[in-house]
Amino acid sequence: MNYKHAYHAGNFADVAKHILLVQLLNQMSTKGKPFYALDAYGGRGLYSLSSEEARKTGEAKAGVQRILDADISEAPDAVRQYVDDIKQARQTYDRHVYPGSPWWIANHVQQNPEVNVRAEAFEFKNTEYDALNYQLYQLPIGIHNRDAFEGIPAVIPPVERRGIILIDPPYEQEHKDFTRLVELLVATMTKWPQGVYALWFPIKNIEAVELFYKKMKRTGIRKQLLCELNIYPNDVAVGLNGTGMLIINPPWKFDQHAREILNFIQPLMRPEDAPELPQSQAVSVRWLVGE
């Protein structure tokens, strides 16, 4: 995938990832106790859907725009909140903005001051870090020019004891990246076994994805939940067939909420030229490893 997320901002994978992130943060906050939230790959924080990159791919038209145009009166709460928050962001910045993951975390912190969430974002690439630091400097999130593989082990366990780490790298070399991520998760779980880890990944090379699943099963880590949304069958050669999140230690009943969210948004995200998928292939929320 192209490292510059500006080409993909607001696509169907972003929609799924950010709505699930909203759901995770909301459930983390229900206890009313402080927690730590880290976005390990912050990107630039805000993206313009009128940029040359976004207009070149047009991916947002088949992603966030479809959610904004849809009737969401019967949608899960996290979907409705996602739409409301995007509208708020566009009133604050401009009507073409799409917020990246650090904004969603910072926005949650701002909306829930009584919970006392300490938020941070890492970005290693200098140009992206500069943009992230400039665009989100007024929001309640610490911005650091730091590599995720070095930074995550260094900041855990957090003083709050509770927390969530979002890991969504660009996957420029899938097989290599998946292997490194498995090793990272094993190391972090050793240091902070009660943390919530949300790992986003693309579904395009099914062999790489299935090998990743096998490796995660072998780690001995418990409570691994898989959330998958597919818009094309695996045997169709397109840029991105689907999107997934592996969530370790998800909050209670998160799997039910995730299933409702993905079942609602999948029909909206499916391209007109895509073959219709059986529901079991279009959306899958299942335990890779249970308790």
User: Tokens at residue 119, please?
Assistant: 């938020």
- 168 labelled ligand-binding: yes
- 48 labelled ligand-binding: no
* Contacts (Cβ under 8 Å, ≥6 apart) of 90: 96, 97
- 101 labelled ligand-binding: yes
Q: Report the SS3 class of residue 122.
A: strand
Residue numbers annotated as active site: 168
- 128 labelled ligand-binding: no
- 207 labelled ligand-binding: no
* Contacts (Cβ under 8 Å, ≥6 apart) of 122: 38, 39, 40, 41, 42, 144, 145, 146, 147, 148, 151, 152
CA-CA distance, 287 to 213, in Å (whole number)? 11
- 134 labelled ligand-binding: no
- 69 labelled ligand-binding: no
Annotated binding residues: 18, 41, 101, 123, 147-148, 168
Annotated binding residues for S-adenosyl-L-methionine: 18, 41, 101, 123, 147-148, 168
